[in-house]
Structure 1
Amino acid sequence: MRGLNGVIRRGFWVALLAVASLLVACDAKNISELEEGVSTEADVRERFGAPEAVWDGEDGAQIYEYNRQPEGHVNYMITIGADGRMSALRQVLTERNFARVLPGMPMEEVRRMLGKPMKITTYDLKRETHYDWRYMEGSNRIDSRVFTAVFDPDLRVVRTMSVSDPELERNR
């Protein structure tokens, strides 16, 4: 029975990677069809659909969140200016953004910066809540990792960490 469970688990992981690959391929095509300063809000919604969340930006802009967690390794923030045109399209799960997550930062600010996490886990005895995001590290983009922001009971960052993706490690 143990062998069968391993086969099922590997099959699940292969299927999950296939879905993630399709998302990446669709995203790449959709992104290539959009141009900053030219594409409109309607163009963005036509290619990406309804956003996961909409955040207020500067000078009347709106920031659309397009989440690819837990299957994917990216989250997009697309800024629509007050003129209704796309002014920025950014993949936000980057080591540079993770370095900006500092102790004392409120959860809402982290959530706005990184998008919806792949998983939220509460540890009652430790009085901590962990928000996890899956991402790809480095220029070769083949090392799946998990960035974790640890929050206290007031939902303020206590610390952060990044580890190899445990799901990937389990299925090797």
Structure 2
Amino acid sequence: MLMSIATFALAACATPWQNGKFGPDEASAIAKLGQPREVYELPNGSKRLMWHTRPFGEKTTAIDIDADGKISQVRQVLAESEFEQAQIGLWTRHDVLTNFGKPLEIAKFPRMQREVWSYRYRDNDVWYVLYHFHFDSNGTLRSTQQTPDPLHDPDHRNLFRRIF
């Protein structure tokens, strides 16, 4: 009994792509996960379907569908290994959008002629982090940055209690 409760609790914490297998096609993915929150057209007639757990979650499940409607890839895209693929000086806003989905937040810095897109994720499933993509005024990726996620920072969470 205790083992089945623990298994159920762990399954509830898993992201959709970890909860079992998908069928071979787009329809099976939608049947299991519901309608995707974002859909992006990719080269060769393929597309990427995305399900995210925002605003407070740190996971985005991406399923790539080939031109024949078959699942070609399933992965969690908000991960260090995925972010490292971004190519500074080559990627644009469109590349970041189609690889990671809509950002959690967009900040604009007119004097610096920069726009920063931020994504919440868990580094190694341990540390709560924000990953930032810095774009120039032409929309080209100029730098990336990681910072602690203030939502999970105990020093900031308890600030109100320490003041009063």
| Range into which the TM-score falls when normalised by the shorter chain | 0.7 to 0.9
Q: 1:114: which partner in 2?
A: 100
Q: 1:4: which partner in 2?
A: none
Q: Secondary structure at the match of 2:97?
A: helix
Aligned-CA RMSD value:
2.3
Q: Secondary structure at the match of 1:125?
A: helix
User: CA–CA distance in 2 between the matches of 1:124 and 1:59?
Assistant: 37
2:126 matches 1:142: yes
Please report how far the alpha carbon of residue 124 of structure 1 lies from its aligned counterpart in structure 2 after TM superposition. Answer: 1.9
User: CA–CA distance in 2 between the matches of 1:56 and 1:29?
Assistant: 22
Q: What TM-score do the two structures reach when normalised by structure 2?
A: 0.77
User: CA–CA distance in 2 between the matches of 1:153 and 1:29?
Assistant: 36
Residues 41-71 of structure 1 show CA distances to partners (whole Å, capped at 9, x for unaligned) of 2221122222222223354322112222321
Q: Which of 56, 59, 65 is matched with 1:71 structurally?
A: 56
Mark the runs of 5 or more structure 2 residues left unpaired by the alignment. 1-8, 159-164
User: CA–CA distance in 1 between the matches of 2:70 and 2:94?
Assistant: 26
User: CA–CA distance in 1 between the matches of 2:18 and 2:138?
Assistant: 37
Q: Residues 38 and 49 of structure 2 are in contact (CA less than 8 Å); yes or no, is this contact kept in structure 1?
A: yes
Percentage identity across paired residues of the two chains: 24
Please report how far the alpha carbon of residue 32 of structure 1 lies from its aligned counterpart in structure 2 after TM superposition. Answer: 2.8
Ranked by relative contact order (alpha carbons within 8 Å, sequence separation 6 or more), the top structure is 1
Q: Residues 148 and 161 of structure 1 are in contact (CA less than 8 Å); yes or no, is this contact kept in structure 2?
A: yes
Deviates more, 1:122-131 or 1:55-64: 55-64
Runs of 4+ in 1 over 6 A off after TM superposition: none
Mark the runs of 5 or more structure 1 residues left unpaired by the alignment. 1-21
Q: Residues 41 and 48 of structure 2 are in contact (CA less than 8 Å); yes or no, is this contact kept in structure 1?
A: yes
2:81 matches 1:100: no
2:42 matches 1:57: yes
- In structure 2, do the counterparts of structure 1 residues 45 and 26 end up closer, same or farther at CA, with 3 Å as the change threshold? farther
Q: 1:86: which partner in 2?
A: 71
- In structure 2, do the counterparts of structure 1 residues 69 and 99 end up closer, same or farther at CA, with 3 Å as the change threshold? same
Q: 2:161: which partner in 1?
A: none
Q: Residues 64 and 72 of structure 2 are in contact (CA less than 8 Å); yes or no, is this contact kept in structure 1?
A: yes
Q: Tell me which amino acid in the other structure corresponds to 1:34.
A: K
Q: 2:5: which partner in 1?
A: none
Q: Residues 69 and 117 of structure 1 are in contact (CA less than 8 Å); yes or no, is this contact kept in structure 2?
A: no
Q: 1:46: which partner in 2?
A: 31
User: CA–CA distance in 2 between the matches of 1:159 and 1:80?
Assistant: 30
Please report how far the alpha carbon of residue 31 of structure 1 lies from its aligned counterpart in structure 2 after TM superposition. Answer: 4.4
